[in-house]
Amino acid sequence: MATEEWVRAAGYDDVPEEDTLGTEIGGVPVCLYKLDGEIYATDNKCTHGDADLSDGLIQDGCEIECPLHEGRFDIRSGKAVSPPCSDDLRSYPARVEQGVIYIKLVHA
């Protein structure tokens, strides 16, 4: 049965505004984003090539652009929105408590 757990990911202040932070949580590379003060989390590896999205640029407010081939994903949902990417990223629920970011991992 799948179990869920909220795991500490980083301090809220570790993620700069309108920027990214790459980190690893339980062996999973995760990219954290701060948009308008709100935290989002997705897998950090691009679904197309071998690149870390945390090295990419946030474009048009809510899209992360892969630093290698420039495919884009919606930061809020992980949805692939431009070529060459067609497979979506996994996206993780995130919440902030007392200056700490937690994300929800689901274990199969």
Partner 1 sequence: MKTVIVGAGQAGAWVARTLRQHAPEAQIVLVGQEPHPPYERPPLSKGVMSGAQSEPPCLLPARQAGELGIRLELGTRAVAIDRARRQVLLEQGPPLAYDTLVLATGGAARQPNIPGGGLPGVHTLRSLDDAVRLRGALRPGRRLLVVGGGWIGLEVAATARLLGLQVCLIEGGSRLCARSVPADISNFLLDLHRRHGVDVQLKGAVTAIEPAADDGALRVRTHRGVELADVVVFGIGLEPNTELAVACGLQVENGIVVDARGQTSDPAIYAVGDVANQPCGWPGAQARLRLESWANAQGQGIAVGAALAGQPPVPRDMPWFWSDQYDVNLQVLGLPSEAGLRVVRGSMRDAKFCVFQIVEGALHSVVAVNMAKELKLAKRWHKQGRCPSIAELQDPDTRLERL
Contact positions toward partner 1, by CB under 8 A?
A: 18-19, 48-50, 55-57, 59, 65, 67-70, 83-84
Nearer to partner 1, 48 or 76 (CB): 48
Distance set, CA 11 to CA 15, 16, 58, 74, 82 (Å): 8, 11, 20, 23, 31
Residues sharing a CB contact under 8 Å with residue 69, sequence separation 6 or more, in sequence order = 46, 48, 49, 51, 84, 85
CB 90 within 8 A of CB 73: no
Strands 3-11 and 63-65, how do they pair?
unpaired
Nearer to partner 1, 70 or 77 (CB): 70
Shortest reach from residue 61's CB to partner 1, in Å: 13
Nearer to partner 1, 4 or 50 (CB): 50
Shortest reach from residue 49's CB to partner 1, in Å: 7
Shortest reach from residue 67's CB to partner 1, in Å: 4
